[in-house]
């Protein structure tokens, strides 16, 4: 049989992409579909799954108050951590975009915390938050504020974790920084000629030009927020009184501690739908506020 | 592992393993390190160092088998386990054991790595399981029933303490052998008690309350020293519940009673401390506690603490000069001394190709000889009665705990216990922080766990 050059090219191309394609099918697509199937079953990992229809979903929505607690905790965290994280990293990126001597050192300093493994970071922050001997209360007392219970306080546990999340915004800062350097210089020159001040330049030039980058960081921030796990797992294990029981932590408990993999799969799919709708909603609104330089 | 598996695993199994592995991989990417502290029911479940140690010495002859042995102990206990394995390997060239350190990721419940390996059809030949949640794994057929081997080898259940044997049972079958255990009692700081004019450690709850008041000191509006905080250490609400006389599990009716009247009473008594000392002030004091050399008992921040036998080793290491007593937990008037015990059990996973060899190894590991040397060197409590006797004869501190073992309570042997544990901890916290009344918190927790039990019982 003769192979035409174009068919040959196609086969070669497929062969070259095969490692990825096979890996993707076996380790991403299949598990994804399988977990969808398992979400309709009672599945304890080692025994064959038993079809129970929508029962997992019904239990989650109607009977499981911890499901709602964990979802509420996660949304609370996202609503606080994402805007704060974006603002902080944007401001830091602006500062790091100045032409000052030794700038690369400053940039390195702000990126370094991101390189600390999250587990080490969690242990470090356990010390910082220690109400008796921790740095936070030491600082508070220095300026005459009352010391707080931080992670042990049911009202403060989540805000404490939000505060901690600002520590590792290095990745976001780098993305913002790259975006900032793409803002055309002539726009600022034109603004200078028109007599605009610094704040006006940020508001009328930098922010509009940066909206695609903000959109990207917003979406990845929200997705990351929904998957928030490590710190809560290590530092608080969901406590006090489930105040830091986040969605991923509760999913983990169900799947691996209570061996209710079907139930955990249902939770994963609900999370998927929530994340998908959030992302779609943001994309919808983005038409109104995101400016793409190329599509005039 | 082509060398070890005799037959190929089925495609279905392999794909299932991939699916479960993917969820695990996602979460493990988030956290691949054992949890430290938290609500661990056992001191030995986590370890500071990670890594794999393999111990093989004598050259295996033809026909020799190599057993894969996953054990969760690090530090000193892990080292002593390796020593034991080496002793076995030297004596048994035909059954070589390869020990791998497999820390438990969570304090209770199944181990994800073990589940994934079992699902993939390639489990270890021996797995050391957290004793309080063995039934969670037994209920999903993760382990081979050992009853025939027990019978044919002539092993007597009375070799071990009854509570330890009870932990290995599920649905009328034996799924493991008890490896080691622990026990809890009251540690009191001799110097602080003397300063407060208390001449002997409290034995009843009333005496404990009185001693606690005398031992509590304030400087300004902050605590400088507390007599006792019922919920620190390693006693937990279940400990007080049993102490007050609660029965948590009715096997005949499949009924759990986290809200038994005695549990409610115990929690109300705990809440009394929260009210007496002030929730916020207690919390502030408590969250300043350190670990290791900065342990609150070592630092004299609390004069009395209910915790486990493993603390003896910690005190010897960090505070060799500290003078203290160990006595049974104080109990309500009219009751008697008791303790409660956790620990580890050892089973042969379903799918092991060397069941007989594995049985030989685990029955040796739980023999009086091996248990005695392990317990002596690693400072753990043996489940083997004769081994415990010989430890008690030579070690007066551990003797206090060993004497309590015959009256030890164990956590209910039900697959839902891991969930019940989380629920009971949250209920205890909610009551102590005065968010819910003890009755309300425990009723809610109990209903939730009972629902899960009913679902399993109904599902068959």
CB contact under 8 A, B433 and A45: no
pLDDT at B229 over 60: yes
Contact B104, B46 (CB under 8 A): yes
Alpha carbon A234 to its chain centroid, in Å, reads 18
pLDDT-above-90 percentage for chain B: 70
pLDDT, tens digit, 9 for 90 and up, residues B90-99 = 999 999 999 9
pLDDT-above-70 percentage for chain B: 85
Give the nearest chain A residue to B222 (CA atoms): A132
Distance from CA of B3 to the nearest CA of A (A): 24
Mean pLDDT of B360-381: 94
Cα–Cα distance measured from residue B351 to residue B142, given in angstroms and rounded to the nearest whole number: 9
pLDDT band at B84 (very low <50, low <70, confident <90, very high): very high
Cα–Cα distance measured from residue B79 to residue B100, given in angstroms and rounded to the nearest whole number: 12
Q: Which of B18, B285, B433 sits opposite A31 (nearest CB)?
A: B18
The answer to whether the Cα torsion of B257, B261, B266, B270 is positive or negative is positive
pLDDT at B47 over 80: no
Per-residue model confidence (pLDDT) at position A237: 85
Distance from CA of B329 to the nearest CA of A (A): 26
Helix (H) or strand (E) holding B178: strand B177-181
- HEC letters along B363-406: HHHCCHHHHHHHHHHHCCEECEHHHHHHHHHHCHHHHHHHHHHH
CB contact under 8 A, B23 and A268: yes
Distance from CA of A92 to the nearest CA of B (A): 26
Per-residue model confidence (pLDDT) at position B16: 52
Per-residue model confidence (pLDDT) at position A91: 93
Cα–Cα distance measured from residue B117 to residue B123, given in angstroms and rounded to the nearest whole number: 5
B136 touches chain A (CB under 8 A): yes
Distance from CA of A249 to the nearest CA of B (A): 9
Q: How does strand B217-219 pair with strand B222-225?
A: antiparallel
Alpha carbon B178 to its chain centroid, in Å, reads 12
CB contact under 8 A, A132 and B115: no
pLDDT at B359 over 80: yes
pLDDT at B380 over 80: yes
Per-residue model confidence (pLDDT) at position B371: 95
CB contact under 8 A, A256 and B108: no
Q: Which of A32, A227, A261 sits opposite B20 (nearest CB)?
A: A261
Backbone φ and ψ of B25, nearest 5°: -60, -40
- Which segments in chain A show pLDDT lower than 70? 1, 293-296
Cα–Cα distance measured from residue B260 to residue B248, given in angstroms and rounded to the nearest whole number: 7
pLDDT at B410 over 50: yes
Mean pLDDT of B254-283: 94
B292 exposure class (CB count in 10 Å sphere: 0-12, 13-18, 19+): exposed
Lowest mean pLDDT across B152-161, B193-202, B236-245, B292-301: B292-301
Contact B192, B352 (CB under 8 A): no
Cα–Cα distance measured from residue B118 to residue A154, given in angstroms and rounded to the nearest whole number: 39
CB contact under 8 A, B288 and A30: no
B35 touches chain A (CB under 8 A): yes
- Contact list in A for residue B108 (CB cut-off 8 A) is 257
Tell me the average pLDDT of chain B.
Answer: 86
Per-residue model confidence (pLDDT) at position B45: 37
Q: Which of B18, B142, B435 sits opposite A26 (nearest CB)?
A: B18
A275 or B28, which is more confident: A275
Mutate to test the interface with B, among A127, A241, A275 (most CBs of B within 10 A): A241
Distance from CA of A273 to the nearest CA of B (A): 17
pLDDT, tens digit, 9 for 90 and up, residues B125-176 = 999 999 998 998 999 899 999 999 999 999 999 999 999 999 999 999 999 9
pLDDT, tens digit, 9 for 90 and up, residues B289-306 = 877 888 999 999 999 999
Q: Give me the count of residues in chain A.
A: 296
pLDDT at B284 over 90: no
Per-residue model confidence (pLDDT) at position B28: 39
Task: Specify the 3-state DSSP secondary structure of B303.
Answer: coil
pLDDT at B56 over 80: no
Per-residue model confidence (pLDDT) at position A74: 96
Per-residue model confidence (pLDDT) at position A76: 96
Per-residue model confidence (pLDDT) at position B109: 63
Q: How does strand A50-51 pair with strand A41-42?
A: antiparallel
Distance from CA of A291 to the nearest CA of B (A): 34
Q: Give me the count of residues in chain B.
A: 460
Residue with tokens 């010897």: B316
Per-residue model confidence (pLDDT) at position A291: 85
> What is the complex's ipTM, to 2 decimals?
0.75
Q: Which of B35, B39, B140 sits opposite A47 (nearest CB)?
A: B140
């Amino acid at each position: 049989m003769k192979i035409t050059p174009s068919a040959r090219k196609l086969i070669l191309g497929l062969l070259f992409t095969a490692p990825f394609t096979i890996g993707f099918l076996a380790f991403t697509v299949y598990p994804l579909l399988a977990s969808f199937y398992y979400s309709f079953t009672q599945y304890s990992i080692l025994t064959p799954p038993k079809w129970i229809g929508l029962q997992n979903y019904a239990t989650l929505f109607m009977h499981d108050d911890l499901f709602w607690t964990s979802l509420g905790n996660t949304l609370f965290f996202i609503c606080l951590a994402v805007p704060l994280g974006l603002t902080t990293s944007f401001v830091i990126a602006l500062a790091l975009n100045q032409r000052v001597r030794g700038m690369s050192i400053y940039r390195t300093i702000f990126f370094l915390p991101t390189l600390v493994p999250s587990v080490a970071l969690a242990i470090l922050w356990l010390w910082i938050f220690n109400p008796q001997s921790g740095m936070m209360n030491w600082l508070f007392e220095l300026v005459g504020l009352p010391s707080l219970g931080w992670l042990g306080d049911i009202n403060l546990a989540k805000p404490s974790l939000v505060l901690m999340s600002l520590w590792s915004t290095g990745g976001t800062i780098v993305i913002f920084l790259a975006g900032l350097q793409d803002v055309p210089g002539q726009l600022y020159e034109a603004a200078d000629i028109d007599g605009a001040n610094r704040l006006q330049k940020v508001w009328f030039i930098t922010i509009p030009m940066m909206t695609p980058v903000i959109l990207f960081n917003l979406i990845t921030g929200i997705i990351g927020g929904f998957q928030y796990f490590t710190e809560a797992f290590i530092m608080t294990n969901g406590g006090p009184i489930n105040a830091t029981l986040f969605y991923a932590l509760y999913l983990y408990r169900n799947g691996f501690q209570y061996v209710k993999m079907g139930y955990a799969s249902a939770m994963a799919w609900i999370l998927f739908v929530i994340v998908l709708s959030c992302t779609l909603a943001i994309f919808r609104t983005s038409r109104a506020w995101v400016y793409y330089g190329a599509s005039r | 592992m082509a060398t070890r598996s005799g037959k190929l695993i089925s495609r279905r199994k392999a794909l299932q393993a991939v699916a479960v592995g993917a969820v695990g991989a996602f979460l493990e990417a988030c956290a691949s390190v054992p949890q430290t502290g938290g609500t661990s029911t056992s001191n030995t479940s986590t370890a500071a160092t990670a890594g794999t140690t393999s111990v093989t010495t004598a050259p295996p002859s033809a026909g020799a088998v190599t057993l894969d042995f996953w054990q969760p102990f690090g530090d000193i206990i892990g080292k002593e386990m390796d020593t034991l394995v080496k002793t076995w390997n030297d004596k048994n060239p035909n059954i070589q054991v390869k020990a791998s350190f497999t820390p438990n990721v969570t304090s209770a419940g199944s181990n994800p790595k073990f589940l994934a390996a079992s699902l993939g059809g390639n489990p270890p030949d021996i797995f050391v399981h957290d004793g309080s949640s063995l039934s969670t794994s037994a209920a999903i057929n993760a382990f081979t029933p050992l009853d025939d081997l027990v019978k044919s080898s002539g092993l007597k259940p009375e070799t071990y303490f009854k509570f330890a044997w009870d932990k290995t049972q599920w649905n009328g079958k034996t799924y493991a052998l008890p490896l080691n255990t622990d026990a809890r009692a009251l540690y009191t700081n001799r110097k602080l008690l003397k300063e407060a004019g208390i001449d002997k450690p409290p034995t009843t709850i009333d005496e404990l309350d009185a001693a606690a008041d005398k031992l509590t000191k304030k400087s300004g509006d902050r605590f400088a020293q507390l007599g006792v905080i019922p919920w620190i250490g390693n006693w937990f609400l279940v400990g007080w519940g049993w102490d007050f006389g609660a029965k948590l599990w009715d096997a005949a009716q499949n009924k759990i009673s986290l809200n038994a009247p005695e549990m409610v009473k115990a929690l109300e008594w705990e809440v009394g401390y929260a009210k007496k000392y002030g929730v916020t002030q207690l919390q502030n004091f408590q969250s300043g506690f350190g670990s290791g050399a900065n342990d609150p008992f070592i630092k004299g921040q609390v004069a009395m603490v209910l915790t486990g036998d493993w603390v003896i080793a910690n005190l010897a290491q960090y505070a060799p000069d500290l003078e203290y007593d160990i006595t049974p937990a104080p109990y309500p008037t009219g009751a008697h001394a008791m303790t409660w015990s956790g620990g580890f059990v050892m089973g042969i996973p379903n799918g092991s190709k060397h069941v007989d060899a594995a049985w030989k190894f685990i029955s040796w590991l739980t023999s009086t000889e091996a248990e005695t040397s392990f317990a002596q060197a690693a400072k753990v409590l043996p489940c083997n009665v004769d081994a415990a006797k010989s430890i008690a004869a030579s070690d007066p501190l551990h003797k206090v705990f060993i004497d309590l073992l015959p009256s030890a309570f164990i956590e209910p042997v039900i697959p839902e216990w891991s969930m019940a544990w989380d629920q009971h901890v949250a209920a205890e916290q909610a009551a102590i922080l005065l968010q819910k009344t003890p009755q309300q918190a425990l009723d809610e927790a109990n209903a939730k766990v009972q629902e899960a039990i009913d679902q399993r019982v109904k599902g068959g």
